[in-house]
Amino acid sequence: MLRINDVIFSLDILQKKFRCNLSACNGNCCRYGDSGAPLNAAEVKIIADVYPEIKHLLRHEGIDAIETQGTSVRDFENDSVTPLVGNEECAYALIENGIHLCGIEKAFEAGIIDFIKPVSCHLFPARVKYYSNFTAVNYQELPICATARKNGKAGNMYLYEFLKEPLIRAFGRELYNELCIAAVEMRKNKTLLRRFAE
């Protein structure tokens, strides 16, 4: 693990290679999961406020789920999450050319709202857990992301590089820069150890 200030990162964030390939995975992160996308308290309010502005972009099934369950719900761990359609896909998901996309992000890109999407979605496949005196950031390795792992290896892109924008959004540019320095130093040290072992 690596600790920077009050944030503890799993070494997988620095060492694993990853790059999304929507045309291969079809946006399955919006489709499969134990519950909806985790939301913090501020996001619960934001999504409730912007829902009337984005409603026209959403699918009928999504609108039905939201208006039946609410713009956010509590999951089995009593955490706030987005509602689901049929206990499977996020109610805010759109399907375009067979690919699941975020309706909230679509509204953001169209300039309708200034909220891009829940930070938990932006950071996926990293998962953030908040504790009383620190925050833990872990990598969740899922079968649905197999093509992203292959894509990351082919393009030599590390997970922390792929997640640059959301990591800066969540923790700030200064912390992200420190994370990059730590990742490079770890790779240098690993190379040195390998040389000494030869």
For 52, the 3-state DSSP assignment is helix
Q: What is the pTM of this model?
A: 0.83
Instruction: Tell whether the torsion through CA atoms of 81, 175, 143 and 94 is positive or negative.
Output: positive
Q: What is the DSSP letter of 55?
A: G
- pLDDT value for 168: 96
For 103, the 3-state DSSP assignment is helix
Write out the H or E segment, with its range, that includes residue 138.
strand 135-139
Q: With contact defined as beta carbons under 8 Å apart, do 152 and 18 qualify? A: yes
Give the pLDDT means over successive 10-residue stretches in the chain (198 positions).
Answer: 89 92 79 80 95 95 95 89 89 89 93 93 89 89 86 93 95 94 84 46
- pLDDT value for 197: 42
- pLDDT value for 191: 56
Domain boundaries, the chain: 1-18+125-198, 26-124
In whole angstroms, give the CA distance from residue 88 to residue 148.
21
CA angle 29, 92, 120 (to 5 degrees): 50
